Structure 1
Amino acid sequence: DVVRLYLQENRTPATTSTAGVRALADELSDGAVKLTEAAVERGLLEVSDPRVSGLAVVGAIEQLALSVLRGQLDAPPLEVGRIVVSMVLDGIRVR
């Protein structure tokens, strides 16, 4: 229930009552961007803008988690994770 609350409230307009949720969302987004920047610096990822990549992954994970909690996605969580990692590392283009 806490996760569902976070996922629903972090996209609402900023208000006094959502300040804590917004701060957590900002912290998670900042962490994802820093992690992506570190991966780029170490040659593990090649993206032109680590901010875009990091935020896209956070957004995808949040939307997928909310879909699972709402019963809109019944794929096993490990499979969902594997698909997201594959999309990020390998892309979705047919090769």
Structure 2
Amino acid sequence: MSSENLASHTFTHAEIKLFYTEQYQYLVALDLATAEFMPSKRSLLIKIENRQKVFDDLLAIFEHFDIALEFTMKHIKKALAANGGYISSAIYIH
């Protein structure tokens, strides 16, 4: 299926989960559905190639699938830090 079909207006709801693996890689699980609380019609697992650009890639995914961003990058970074995720250009203080 082409990316044009995936970005089709037929998908009106998305659920996104960000995973940080033991291999220090980010994976984005994206479930697209035609209605809220309905089973997803399409599930994707997207590997973030460069973990230093995870936020840029997340924004690109949101833009490609026309997903409204309910959380700011500050909230996403805070959640990542709280769960031990890698944040590029962060200074860690003990």
TM norm. shorter chain > 0.5:
no
Higher strand share: 2
